[in-house]
Amino acid sequence: MLRHRLTLALTAAGLCASSAAAPQDWPLRQALGPAVKLQQLPRRSLVEYCPDNTCDRFEAKGPKSLALLHDFAYLYLYAHGQYLYLADFKASPSAYASEVVGRHSSSCLGAAVPANVTCVLKLLQRQLGITYAFVRYDEGHRCTVPESLLGVPSNAKSKCTKVRGAA
């Protein structure tokens, strides 16, 4: 019981510390650099990983959802990211990925480690209403194509907008 309380206290302290830290100091940004954009808006949060003229874009509902969306994006890119640029990130063991799984896996007991990762991702996805879109910048436009995420289809429509300052 004491161990459980200590774990909860340390987890809460870790969440507070990462929430208080500037986004450039968060683990995903530290691991992948300026290709990661983190943004908390009044009613939602966004995480984008844009290593080239394309992006993986994750969005969550809620005015204080950025810390959990960050954890989701970190774990998703680590376990399922398709970019070649992620090879080094995915090749080495990640203490932070293990921490994220440990922090959220109480509902996933009994699952093997890979299944635990997917279970945690689905848990966070349901909790925050996380959606995914593929983004491409091309010929002065930003095109966003919503796609399914972890088997959950998207109901959103694709859209392209002109990028300010583009010729």
Q: Is residue 167 part of a domain?
A: no
Q: Is residue 10 part of a domain?
A: yes
Q: What percent of the chain has pLDDT over 70?
A: 81
Q: Which residues pair with 45 in a beta bridge?
A: 40, 60
Confidence check: pLDDT of 17 > 60: no
The structural domain count of the chain equals 1
The answer to pTM > 0.85 is: no
Among residues 65, 67, 60, the alpha carbon closest in space to that of 29 is found at 67
For residues 97 and 75, the answer to whether their CB atoms sit within 8 Å is yes
Among residues 19, 17, 81, 18, the alpha carbon closest in space to that of 48 is found at 81
Instruction: Using pLDDT thresholds of 50, 70 and 90, give the confidence band for residue 70.
Output: very high
Instruction: Using pLDDT thresholds of 50, 70 and 90, give the confidence band for residue 107.
Output: confident
Domain boundaries, position 17: 2-162
Q: Is residue 154 part of a domain?
A: yes
Strand (E) or helix (H) holding 95: helix 95-104
